[in-house]
Copies of this chain bind each other. A is one copy, B any other.
């Protein structure tokens, strides 16, 4: 599962507002919608102009303030040994159990829950959705704990992953417990929206699992056997589903109807796909000085990222060349040539056009659910935040 903006060296940049985005004429004007400052600038949250109070950094900070107590209370209810793993994973404790400043990621998902609730139900809905926001964040972190074990990832949020510190088994068990904690939080919540929220979150977990399974399976297959539709479906399940679910859960606590809930789910999914496309572009063309990863690391690892599969299935002469390069074992200095070949095969252009297209769809879905742009601004700011990255 991908973490948003956890690389401090990755800073937001302007992913242009898609040209195709239609916004219904509402009481406000589209011009009142927050717009990112032009260009990459020095990046960071300050790059958002933040008028209308729809500054993503502010939204994230306020969300954290509401959700953190719920999250900490839930984790505090765990038996001591698993509580320790969870507190380490969330960055609240060091491995030795001493308090840590905490880097639990940007917590974009709980922010989506609260912002969706606010968009459709104002501050009262936001207040009742805080526990559900914590549940969504617990689910996200359960999948991170398990994915890190499966993917043998040694680093998460600049620290050793939980399984490297506490062992695989205990990390798996802590993940299991976080899932139970998440769905238990909703079961204990007497708000009338809770059963529907729990059902959606449970269904989302199944989709996240399928996304992770598909990801692993795709990476094992020969490059020529992977279709673009498969990689897109995997990315939607693995990244889009929980972003969509977060928005839908927020809508439920605002008492929204099925259509609005579905439209906000679609908004989150499309924004999640746009994020994944940009993330994959950065994985190939990102500036190592900013990404903190060596140039072409994804190519050296033969990752079947979206631009790569687009290139491989492009039917161009460069596609055949790339397939040949991908079939070979890694060779010193090959990344530069590979990068050029993916680009020549149209992988970069495709991914950027797709990302813009997904953002346009997201904006359409958002407009269906929240016709008043003044109310939709927060969600739009978050969507733009996650898709604004430097290359």
Contact residues of A with B, CB < 8 Å? 77-79, 81-82, 142, 146, 149-150, 168-170, 172-177, 179-181, 183-184, 186-188, 190, 194-196, 198-199, 202-203, 205-207, 209-210, 212-214, 216-217
* Residue with the greatest number of chain B CB neighbours at <10 A, chosen from A77, A168, A195: A195
* A149-B172, A172-B172, A179-B176 given; A82·B213 CB < 8 A: yes
A214, closest chain B residue (CB): B81
Check B195–A181 contact: CB distance below 8 A: no
Assembled-state Cα–Cα distance A112/B332 (Å): 62
Check B176–A205 contact: CB distance below 8 A: yes
Check B213–A184 contact: CB distance below 8 A: no
Check B188–A195 contact: CB distance below 8 A: yes
Check A184–B198 contact: CB distance below 8 A: yes
A186: B residues at CB distance < 8 A: 187
Copy total for this chain: 2
9 contacts between A and B (CB under 8 A): A81-B217, A169-B213, A173-B209, A176-B179, A176-B205, A179-B205, A180-B205, A184-B206, A188-B199
* A184-B202, A202-B183 given; A209·B169 CB < 8 A: no
Check A213–B173 contact: CB distance below 8 A: yes
Check A209–B176 contact: CB distance below 8 A: yes
Would you give the shortest CB distance from A203 to chain B, in whole angstroms?
A: 6
The 3 closest A-B pairs by CB, nearest first: A184-B202, A180-B205, A187-B198
Check A206–B79 contact: CB distance below 8 A: yes
A205: B residues at CB distance < 8 A: 176-177, 179-180, 184
Main secondary structure of the interface of A (DSSP, over half): helix
Check A206–B177 contact: CB distance below 8 A: yes
A175: B residues at CB distance < 8 A: 176
A151, closest chain B residue (CB): B169
A207, closest chain B residue (CB): B79
A78: B residues at CB distance < 8 A: 206
Assembled-state Cα–Cα distance A205/B177 (Å): 7
Assembled-state Cα–Cα distance A10/B203 (Å): 39
Would you give the shortest CB distance from A256 to chain B, in whole angstroms?
A: 18
Check B187–A195 contact: CB distance below 8 A: yes
A170: B residues at CB distance < 8 A: 213, 216
Would you give the shortest CB distance from A85 to chain B, in whole angstroms?
A: 9
Assembled-state Cα–Cα distance A184/B174 (Å): 20
Check B210–A79 contact: CB distance below 8 A: yes
Check A202–B173 contact: CB distance below 8 A: no
Q: Of B172, B180, B184, B195, which contacts A146 at CB under 8 A?
A: B172
Would you give the shortest CB distance from A198 to chain B, in whole angstroms?
A: 4
Assembled-state Cα–Cα distance A179/B199 (Å): 12
Would you give the shortest CB distance from A354 to chain B, in whole angstroms?
A: 24
Check A181–B209 contact: CB distance below 8 A: no
* A172-B172, A195-B194 given; A213·B179 CB < 8 A: no
* A195-B187, A213-B82, A213-B170 given; A202·B181 CB < 8 A: yes
